Structure 1
Amino acid sequence: MLRRLYEWILALAGKPSAPWALAAVAFAESSFFPVPPDAMLVPMTVSRPERAWHYAAIATLASVAGGLLGYAIGALLFDSLGQWLFKLYGLDGAASTFRESYAQYGHWVILLKGLTPIPYKLVTITSGFAHYSLFWFMLLSVVTRGARFFLLAALLKRYGVSIRGVLDRHLNVVAAISVAVVVLGFVLFKLVL
């Protein structure tokens, strides 16, 4: 099943709808969806390295736009939808602790957590819940998400042929490591708070 999904994403990279699919995943991941856009960005970029910067820009802009939805969930719907999402991810008590960290560390929370494997949706929802400055939230989101996706695009553009060979031969291992990194992100989020 994983192999078919990988091959579907590679085939999708050549279609006009590929950027729209990447944008949808990046948007959703910043507010509620558990799968990071890297799952599409990596195969799409190794398939078409000449489009690396284009794909990174799409992922960045869509991720920041999705972050606005996450911010709105935290600011307007935290007692219902926001708490449910945190509970779904096993982080029931983390939001209030994370909110307190905004008072002490402000900008650093968004900058550092936006680059780590900690799911960005937790940052966006909690930013709204903490009523963090929307201006600074947007600016720092562009910086941190842009840095993440453009750095990944640069690596994929430079080493894409080698990476594609590894993905083709060891897809299950790479997928297992990717899942482990996402799980580690949740664990780190709980431990840091």
Structure 2
Amino acid sequence: MLKSFCEKLANSRFGIAAMCLLTYLGGFIFPVPSDVMLPPMIIGRPDRWKPLMIACVVFSVAGACSAYFLGFAFAGELATWAQSTNLEEINQATVLMAQYGSPILFVAAFAPIPFKTLALAAGAGAMPMALFLPAVVLGRTIRFYFISKVTLKGLKWMKHYKGIETKRT
């Protein structure tokens, strides 16, 4: 159901705006990974894969920065809430950020790790923006580049072996 909705949205005139909004919100609020919109958008417009990928990077980094600033602004409240509810994910993220800093943030930016939680923890721990931003930009760029290339390879394979045509190639 989500897949068909994303494919329909990707082919609509609101596709790029929806992808950007979903990617931004996925950086700090939305529980669904922002990756669900990029492949359908690329399948619909393979000639525009680079601008689509760059849009995902920019809006994902903006979402991560929002998570960072929320963590920074509400560090005390976040720590109290995490301890009172024994929320293990927040506690683990805080420990990881304290031990490893930007390297763990870089890994989380392109791996299937709860990235928004680590971005919140980075802000709550007042990680310097000079360490936070490069790790996030590089990690997110690698992630979305990889997703784009896998989608393009899959599309090429489908066209070659299955005779499937796309709208614009």
Deviations 1:54-79 (A, max 9, x none): 21111110000011110011111244
Bigger Rg, structure 1 or 2: 2
The residue type equivalent to 2:97 in the other structure is: Y
How much is the aligned-residue C-alpha RMSD, in angstroms? 2.6
| 1:99 alignment counterpart | 94
| 1:9 alignment counterpart | 6
Alpha-carbon spacing, 1:70–1:163, altered in 2? closer, same or farther (3 Å): farther
CA distance in 1, matches of 2:75, 2:132: 17
CA distance in 2, matches of 1:120, 1:83: 21
Give unmatched runs, 5+ long, in structure 1: 165-193
Give unmatched runs, 5+ long, in structure 2: 160-169
Q: Find the residue that maps to 1:16 and give its secondary structure.
A: coil
Describe how 1:17-36 pairs up with structure 2 within 5 A: 17-36=14-33
Deviations 1:73-115 (A, max 9, x none): 111124446876x69xx97144344333334322211111112
CA distance in 2, matches of 1:121, 1:136: 16
Q: How far apart are 1:155 and its partner, in Å?
A: 1.1
Q: Does 1:41 align with 2:38?
A: yes
Deviations 1:125-154 (A, max 9, x none): 011011111122111111000100011101
Candidates 121, 126, 129, aligned match of 1:126: 121
Q: Does 1:141 align with 2:130?
A: no
Q: Find the residue that maps to 1:138 and give its secondary structure.
A: helix
| 2:149 alignment counterpart | 154
The residue type equivalent to 1:141 in the other structure is: V
CA distance in 1, matches of 2:21, 2:77: 24
Q: TM-score, normalised by structure 2?
A: 0.80
| 1:61 alignment counterpart | 58
Report if the CA contact (8 A) 2:97-2:121 is conserved.
no
Alpha-carbon spacing, 1:51–1:82, altered in 2? closer, same or farther (3 Å): farther
Alpha-carbon spacing, 1:127–1:15, altered in 2? closer, same or farther (3 Å): same
CA distance in 1, matches of 2:65, 2:133: 8
Q: Does 1:73 align with 2:70?
A: yes
Report if the CA contact (8 A) 1:46-1:163 is conserved.
no
Report if the CA contact (8 A) 2:94-2:118 is conserved.
no
Identity of aligned residues (%): 24
